[in-house]
Every structure is written in C-alpha cells, then in structure tokens.
Amino acid sequence: MKDIADSHVTADGRTIGGVLMDMRGITLRFGGVEAIKDISFDIREGEIRAIIGPNGAGKSSMLNVISGFYNPQEGEVWFRGEKRPPMKPYQVARLGIARTFQNIALFEGMSVLDNIMTGRLTHMKAGMLAQAIWTGKAEREETENREAVERIIDFLEIQAIRKTPVSRLPYGLKKRVELARALAAEPKLLLLDEPMAGMNVEEKEDMSRYILDVNDEFGTTVALIEHDMGVVMDISDRVVVMDYGRKIGDGTPSEVRNNQDVIDAYLGVAHD
C-alpha cells in the first residue's frame, strides 16, 4: 500500500494530498462476462485523475463501481482510509461522491435552479412536517442552500438560465447544468463520465476550464472518463488506461503516452 502521508505540490502550485480513494483488486462480472478484471488504482486528494481506454474497456463500469451502482464481486473499495461496505448509490452520495452521466441525466421537468437545488439534498435536514408548514427552519435552510447554489451558478456562468426549464436548453448548457448539480453537493470526489462528449472545440475549452477551476478553487478531487486525448493529456495529473477490462497503464500523461501497451491498444498491433 502506498504511503498516505505522501503529498506533494505540482508544478502549477496545487497540492496533491494523500490517497482519497483506493480501489483494490476490483473484479466485476455480469453473468459470464468479466467487465473489470482485477484492477487496482488510487485517486489522491486534489488531483485530476483520468480513466481512458477504447470503447467497451470497462471505464463506465468502473465509475459505476465507485458511485455504488454496481457492487464488485471481488476487491475492496477504500474511501478516506476506510473500507467501504457494499452500498446503495444514495448512501455513496452522502459520503461525498457526486457524478455526472455520459448521457445527460438531468430532471427534465424541473427548472435549472431546482435541478441544482436537488444537488444540495444531502445538505438539507428539515423534516417533512417543518417543510409542510414552511416554518422558520425549512425556510431558512432553503435560503441558505439557495445561496450556495447561487455561488455555483455564478461560477459556471449560467445566471441567465436559472429559471428556465431544463428541457428547453441546448446540449452544451445541459452538460454544464449537470456539472453544476454535481458541484452543488460540494463533493469530495467528483466523477465525470465523458464531460466533453459531443461538444465542439469552444465548448470543450470552456468545460476544461471549469474542471480545472473546480479543482483549483474548491480543491475538489476529480476523476473523469474522456475520449478526447488532447484534453485528457492537458488537464489530468495521472491517467489510468483500461482495455478489455484490464489495466494496461497507469501514470502521468507523458508516461502513459510512451507506454507500449497503451500505444498498441489505441493504434492496434500487428498479430504475427
């Protein structure tokens, strides 16, 4: 096991702390199919960790294991120095892990504001009776959380659309609102499943900037899956590479780029 206390400062002045999440020997099977085969890696506090790999490599399954959708048949998930028992997704959310989805999973019938407010759910404690009567506590809580949400709205520059129903928004903005909803939970670990899928260059640049800012300003640890290699190599501190459910590379972007297995997986290799 790696040394937890081992922290360092990156070239651009961010502090990378100890291990936040440690995946140990994760194996996930669907019937006879092994989606993930004995994978171990860790995510350190404050870093941007990318998971890459060709289609069907098991990246999204990995994210689903972290967020509690799937419970792996073998292996252990350690979070903040404690072994995590099998949990339901909503329990994982309460530990401080938030995520976005590959296909946008916003609440289409609600306004942008309500969507993001829903992200604050784990911070709101007023009981049902208090809410029904809308007593001091429920109202105060609503206002306090609204303030937190407004900070995120400012941060992601979506002030103009806060009262718009989500179903009316274009794709790029929906992605941003989904990020806002995840951020509203003030997560310790933010999981992004292809945050830039289907975006044009400008939108990708915006999104990259937001991810870097989130990491820098809030100190949020980010784990992301992305197919755009340029973006991945630019913004991430360390990269895990998966192929056919196995881990074939792990390291800084430049290490991964020069890894022969990774090159083979992406470019194909002559079978002679």
Partner 1 sequence: MLYREAGDFKTTYKADSQTFPIAFDRWRYWAVLAVAWLVIPFFINDYWANAILVPFLIYAIAAIGLNILTGYCGQVSLGTGGFMAVGAYAVYKLMTVFPDVSMLVHIVLAGAITAVVGALFGLPSLRIKGFYLAVATLAAQFFLVWLFNKVPWFYNYSASGQISAPERFVFGQAVTGANTAPAAQYLICLLFVTICAILARNLTRGTIGRSWMAIRDMDIAAEIIGVDPLKAKLTAFAVSSFFIGISGALFFAVYLGAVEVGEAFGINKSFLVLFMCIIGGLGSIFGSFAGAAFLVLLPVALKVLGADVLGWPTQIVSHLQLVFVGGLIMFFLIKEPHGLAQLWRLTKEKLRLWPFPY
| Residue 242 neighbours by CB under 8 Å, 6+ apart | 39, 51, 52, 53, 57, 58, 59, 62, 248
The phi-psi region of residue 77 (left if phi > 0; otherwise alpha if psi is between -120 and 50; otherwise beta) is: beta
We find the least distance from the C-beta atom of residue 255 to partner 1, in angstroms, to be 32
The answer to the question of residue 88 lying near partner 1 (CB under 8 A) is yes
Tell which one of 48, 117, 158, 183 touches partner 1 (CB under 8 A): 117
By the rule CB under 8 A, 98 interacts with partner 1? yes
Q: CB 76 → partner 1: shortest distance, Å?
A: 21
CA 17/CA 25 separation, integer angstroms: 22
Is residue 245 a contact point for partner 1 (CB under 8 A)? no
Rounded to whole angstroms, the Cα distance separating 83 from 66 reads 12
* Binding of partner 1 by 134 (CB under 8 A): yes
**Closer residue to partner 1 (CB): 23 or 182:** 182
Size of the site for partner 1 (CB under 8 A): 41
Q: Contact 37/27 with Cβ under 8 angstroms? A: yes
In the region spanning residues 36 to 55, those forming contacts with partner 1, defined by CB under 8 A, are none
Closest to partner 1 by CB, 40 vs 102, is 102
* Residues 140-159 within binding reach of partner 1 (CB under 8 A): 141-143, 146-147, 150
Binding mask 179-218 for partner 1 (x = CB under 8 A): --xx--x---------------------------------
Is residue 107 within the footprint of partner 1 (CB under 8 A)?
yes
- Residue among 67 and 208 whose Cβ is closer to partner 1: 67
Binding to partner 1 (CB under 8 A) within 66-85 occurs at 67, 69
Q: Which position among 40, 122, 164, 259 is part of the footprint of partner 1 (CB under 8 A)? A: 122
Report in angstroms the alpha-carbon separations of 142 from 75, 125, 146, 147.
40, 10, 6, 9
d(CA 139, CA 133): 10
- Which one-letter DSSP state was computed for residue 57? S
175 binds partner 1, rule: CB under 8 A: no
Spatial contact of 152 and 113, defined as CB atoms under 8 Å apart = no
Of the listed pieces 28-36, 51-59, 102-110, 231-239, which binds partner 1 according to CB under 8 A?
102-110
Closest of 182, 5, 9 to residue 81, by C-alpha: 5
Nearer to partner 1 among residue 133 and residue 160 (C-beta) = 133
Residue 214 or 239 having the CB closest to partner 1: 214
Instruction: State both tokens at 48.
Output: 């941007």
- Measured between alpha carbons, how far is 162 from 141 in angstroms, rounded to an integer? 19
The string of DSSP letters for 153-209 reads HHHTT-GGGTTSBGGGS-HHHHHHHHHHHHHHT--SEEEEESTTTT--HHHHHHHHH
Residue ranges binding partner 1 (CB under 8 A) = 67, 69, 88-90, 92-94, 98-99, 101, 105-110, 114, 117-119, 121-122, 124, 126, 128, 131-134, 138-139, 141-143, 146-147, 150, 181-182, 185
